[in-house]
Chains A and B, each alone.
Chain A
Amino acid sequence: DAGVTQSPTHLIKTRGQQVTLRCSPKSGHDTVSWYQQALGQGPQFIFQYYEEEERQRGNFPDRFSGHQFPNYSSELNVNALLLGDSALYLCASSLLQDSGGRNTEAFFGQGTRLTVV
């Protein structure tokens, strides 16, 4: 089991550009969530995808968008990059719920470190 994989691991972009980050969930998982972690802070929830739909969204502008594919993999897109978008972007996968209707354990990828210059 490869676990959650993210690509690329590092990325440098210029202000105003657009970026796409990718995530492959753990085998058997159907839900992907994205987080932004600024230096010295805890991860902040961006949004969650299930059945190719955005189910929940955190307090992030529309410049942040995503997509989930039929194989459950996901992309995070950020348009019109700002210097403040520099952060570690983390992807987590989980099952939406187990057979008892409970939330399940989430597993994180190694992250993509984005630097905007």
Chain B
Amino acid sequence: GIQVEQSPPDLILQEGANSTLRCNFSDSVNNLQWFHQNPWGQLINLFYIPSGTKQNGRLSATTVATERYSLLYISSSQTTDSGVYFCAVGKGGGFKTIFGAGTRLFVKA
């Protein structure tokens, strides 16, 4: 099956700093999403980005499908950005999602 690797596993930032989270996947996919999991467990959709680049406020994401990786950029980080960021990929019909292990982000005030 598809393997999804996220890096770094843990990240500590000072408020206001920028960061880049990476997601590598081992096979071609036709679906990729980034999620932020809040302390209560809710997975919040950040980007649906099987290819290309998207931006939403301080967040942006780029997926290079041919090279099997995706990047999530967080600029001017805030304490509310803390939590776990997951990359999830899907292959084939339907949406059998394979999640990475996540990047645990802590933003210090």
Given A42-B102, A110-B40, answer yes or no on A105-B97 (Cβ-Cβ < 8 Å): no
B residues with CB within 8 A of A: 30-31, 33, 35, 40-43, 45, 48, 50, 86, 88, 90, 93-102
Residue A88 at the B interface, CB < 8 A? yes
Residue A103 at the B interface, CB < 8 A? yes
Given A42-B101, A105-B33, answer yes or no on A33-B95 (Cβ-Cβ < 8 Å): yes
Whether B30 lies near A102 (C-beta < 8 A) is: yes
Whether B90 lies near A111 (C-beta < 8 A) is: no
A residues with CB within 8 A of B: 31, 33, 35, 37, 41-45, 48, 50, 55-56, 58, 88, 90, 92, 94, 96-97, 102-108, 110-111, 113
A contact residues around B96 at 8 Å (CB): 33, 45, 48, 56, 58
Q: Within the complex, which residue of A44, A58, A90, A94 is in contact with B95, where a contact is CB–CB below 8 Å?
A: A94
Whether A107 lies near B97 (C-beta < 8 A) is: no
Whether A110 lies near B41 (C-beta < 8 A) is: yes
A contact residues around B30 at 8 Å (CB): 102-103
B contact residues around A104 at 8 Å (CB): 95
Whether B42 lies near A55 (C-beta < 8 A) is: no
B contact residues around A107 at 8 Å (CB): 45
B contact residues around A103 at 8 Å (CB): 30-31, 50, 90, 93-95
B contact residues around A55 at 8 Å (CB): 94
